[in-house]
Structure 1
């Protein structure tokens, strides 16, 4: 966790070191703000990989370009962790479970089209679980390719849970389409 926080801090400091014109929220237009909607697929990793074989879901984010290279926004969506057919029940889960993240989205775009890096940081709520199992804080670092209309990126998602339960991790790929604000 400390390494992830350090990496995010370094990324934020390096992004703010560029002398750029900052935009205010009053400046929202179709040139600098959009809704990203798409899908994701992933492979569970770590201990949760013993229970779940596949993750599929929806990825949604609202983004505002604070500068020409730095985007900030809100991220959410839904991911379904499908249970392996031969797996025993995991902590009261019989048919898999869902994850609903709610977080801050940070992106750095070196150019108007091309590679980008970013992360989502926030809290993930879990569904389909018994009352004793709760969600946890999450971090989702990513690297991808973007243009004016779409994004494709690889990511690592880690949901940090209380000590009595296991963390939930996955490695995946997502595709999102940009719907411009008018």
Structure 2
């Protein structure tokens, strides 16, 4: 329950920062949908249950300026079970922030939210954290990530992997 309050507080904090801008103008130069794929290798508790993970990554982003973007992130990460373990997955619902050093080049970012587990007995999910480092240009983002869901019953589902997203402007 403490984690849920933390997530709610952080999302409300992002909303307060966003509301301080009085002249927000959403254009194809500062707002877009990112859609892509991820692939990873489970670590820790997750490596006992799965040997590979694939997923889809969906994000809506708004740039405050050329260097700072915020938004919402979701998608689905599918863990392929091993040794008689059923496949399971994570559906994240998170806010994210990214810092772009230049208009084309290196970026750092992180997602913070809640990861809902699918096909997991006695476990609904938990705090979801997904730091990233990558390369971006006007159309593409290619990044390495470390994803961790601090699930109930003292289970940490960790994955390290690569992702790629395409920017769809609206």
Establish whether TM, by shorter chain, passes 0.5.
yes
Residues 123 and 151, structure 2, Cα contact 8 Å, conserved in 1: no
Note if 1:133 corresponds to 2:131. no
Give a deviation string over 1:103-122, Cα, whole Å, max 9, x none.
Answer: 00100001100000000000
- Find runs of 4+ consecutive structure 1 residues off by over 3 angstroms: 22-26
Equivalences for residues 1-182 of structure 1 within 5 A: 26-84=24-82, 87-89=83-85, 95-130=86-121, 132-162=122-152, 164-181=153-170
Distance 2:64 2:102 in 1: 14
Shift of 1:51: 1.3
Is the alpha carbon distance of 1:134 and 1:32 closer, same or farther for their aligned partners in structure 2, counting shifts above 3 Å? Answer: same
SS at match of 2:155: coil
Gaps of 5+ in 1: 1-21, 90-94
Residues 159 and 167, structure 1, Cα contact 8 Å, conserved in 2: yes
Task: Give 1 or 2: higher strand fraction.
Answer: 2
Gaps of 5+ in 2: 1-19
- Matched pairs, number: 151
SS at match of 1:133: coil
TM-score computed with the length of structure 1 as normaliser: 0.79
Residues 68 and 99, structure 2, Cα contact 8 Å, conserved in 1: yes
Q: Which has the larger radius of gyration?
A: 1
